[in-house]
Amino acid sequence: MKEDVTNNTKMSESKARLAILELAHIMSVPMSLTTIIKLKVAEAIWQDGSNTPLSAADILARIRPHGGGDADNLQRLLRMLTSYDIFDEHLSNCGQRKYSLTNIGKILVDDNQGLSCAYFMLQHHQDGLMRAWPLIGEAVEDPTIQPFVKANKESAFEYYLKRPDEMNLFLKSLSGISVPLMKDMLNKYDGFIGVETLVDVGGNSGITLRMIMDKYPNVLKGINYDLPGMVASAPPISGVIHVGGNALESVPRGDAIFIKWVFLGFTNEESKLVFQNCYKALPVEGKLIVCEPVLPELTDESHRTRALLGADIFIMTMYKTKGKHRTEQQFKQLGIATGFPHFRAFYFDPYLTLLEFQK
Ligand SMILES: C[S@@+](CC[C@H](N)C(=O)[O-])C[C@H]1O[C@@H](n2cnc3c(N)ncnc32)[C@H](O)[C@@H]1O
């Protein structure tokens, strides 16, 4: 009996050690994935939908038509990423390995609008952001300055604004996630019915607003309201009026206000200010439609919780040390504190939750 207990303890210690060994090498996952994206491996396998399993040598022949490259090392990346469900591995009797794309691998391939989730991965690992990661601890020591600023001597937005390629990648990374997500959400949520003037606060490129207007032609006027530097980089989009401004100071009037993926960059005090400015800009019964990452109350080990908490650290490190992801209760309280009597939450998507506040 005593021996069993010892064995169990030993087993749990070895599992614990394994967990640390996995975590110690976790960096190999994003680094290998960004490499695979830069090499255009997913496109080489996908080939307009064929998704035929290919060996590393076949893939190399497609991405390096003039020769060169090491198929064995490429296979090492493919094998490791298979363990993260990016690829399916097909092992033949003679030991040859071939790879096709899983559902996760498929969303790394550009669609007919030139968008995919690959850009989010690339944007999150570009040089300026990578320089900030080792400085996370600074956010604990001194929360007044973002680690990104300590590493790069300017804020992330100043950094993007000075570098058109980085700005373009930022816009594409958001659209690559937002477009499919919005398509899905607009099929499930009908809260834009009856709205004639819609303001998208922090609407970035304006692409989300255009999608809402396409689905709801009753929206005759769409105002994309974002920081002046951001709207200056936004492409012209038919029917969308780009307006530069700061939501912490004021918000343009509309029948409804939409804010997606923006509150995470505000402190609690700033979030309250923006809620107040939205309240002032809305008519009686007007809706503030918020679409944000919403944290679960309880911390568990699910993919959803990990994705949301991982991004919370990203915000703290890159954009604002006291910006954050919030729980449904925290959002509800923000609405109550700023005068919105009605509140509904819709969990259409596992990452972004739709929160509806009505005056
Ligand atoms: C993470 S992006 C989200 C963009 C877009 N809503 C989406 O879901 O794809 C945050 C956006 O908020 C904008 N933003 C940040 N602070 C703002 C402020 N004080 N006033 C207006 N826009 C702001 C940023 O410029 C950026 O475009």
pLDDT tens per residue across span 29-83: 999 999 999 999 999 999 989 999 999 999 999 999 999 999 999 999 999 999 9
Count the alpha carbons within 13 Å of 58 in the hemisphere toward its beta carbon: 17
Per-residue CA distances from 235 to 32, 57, 81 (Å): 32, 41, 35
What is the identity of the amino acid at 200?
D
Q: State the complex-level ipTM.
A: 0.99
Angle between helices 28-38 and 71-82 (to 10 degrees): 120
Ligand 1 in reach of 202 Cβ (< 6 A): yes
| Ramachandran area for residue 152 (φ above 0: left; ψ -120 to 50: alpha; else beta) | alpha
Cβ proximity of 140 and 146 under 8 Å:
no
- Which pair of tokens denotes residue 230? 């951001």
Distance of alpha carbon 109 from alpha carbon 237, whole angstroms = 24
Per-residue CA distances from 143 to 50, 229, 245 (Å): 50, 26, 26
Q: Are strands 221-226 and 197-201 parallel, antiparallel or unpaired?
A: parallel
Distance of alpha carbon 122 from alpha carbon 109, whole angstroms = 13
- Which pair of tokens denotes residue 300? 């568990």
Q: Angle at CA 211, nearest 5°, toward 209 and 213?
A: 70
For ligand 1, the distance from its centroid to the CA atom of residue 247, given in whole angstroms, is 9
For ligand 1, the distance from its centroid to the CA atom of residue 262, given in whole angstroms, is 5
β-strand partners of 221: 197
Closest CA to 185 of 205, 206, 208, 203: 208
For ligand 1, the distance from its centroid to the CA atom of residue 245, given in whole angstroms, is 11
Q: Are strands 342-346 and 256-260 parallel, antiparallel or unpaired?
A: unpaired
Q: Are strands 326-327 and 87-91 parallel, antiparallel or unpaired?
A: unpaired
Which residue's CA lies nearest to atom 9 of ligand 1? 174
For the segment 96-112, the average pLDDT, to the nearest whole number, is 97
Distance of alpha carbon 181 from alpha carbon 55, whole angstroms = 33
Q: Exposed, middle or buried: residue 19 (CB in 10 Å: 0-12, 13-18, 19+)?
A: exposed
For ligand 1, the distance from its centroid to the CA atom of residue 232, given in whole angstroms, is 13
pLDDT tens column, 189-221: 999 999 999 999 999 889 899 999 999 999 999
Indicate the helix (H) or strand (E) that contains 243: strand 240-244
pLDDT tens column, 299-317: 999 999 999 999 999 999 9
Atom of ligand 1 nearest to the CA of 291: 8
What is the identity of the amino acid at 70?
D
The whole-model pTM stands at 0.92
Confidence of residue 1 (pLDDT cuts 50, 70, 90): very low
Ligand 1 in reach of 252 Cβ (< 6 A): no
Per-residue CA distances from 55 to 37, 79, 88, 150 (Å): 17, 11, 12, 44
Predicted confidence (pLDDT) at residue 2 exceeds the cutoff of 70: no
Confidence of residue 119 (pLDDT cuts 50, 70, 90): very high
Three-state DSSP at 200 gives strand
Ligand 1 in reach of 265 Cβ (< 6 A): yes
Closest CA to 214 of 236, 191, 240, 235: 240
Atom of ligand 1 nearest to the CA of 178: 9
Ligand 1 in reach of 176 Cβ (< 6 A): no
pLDDT at 320: 96
pLDDT tens column, 153-183: 999 999 998 999 999 999 999 999 999 999 9
Distance of alpha carbon 182 from alpha carbon 188, whole angstroms = 10
Share of the chain above pLDDT 90, in %: 92
For ligand 1, the distance from its centroid to the CA atom of residue 201, given in whole angstroms, is 7
pLDDT at 189: 96
- Residue 117 — φ and ψ, nearest 5°? -80, -5
Place of tokens 């949301």: 308
Confidence of residue 9 (pLDDT cuts 50, 70, 90): low
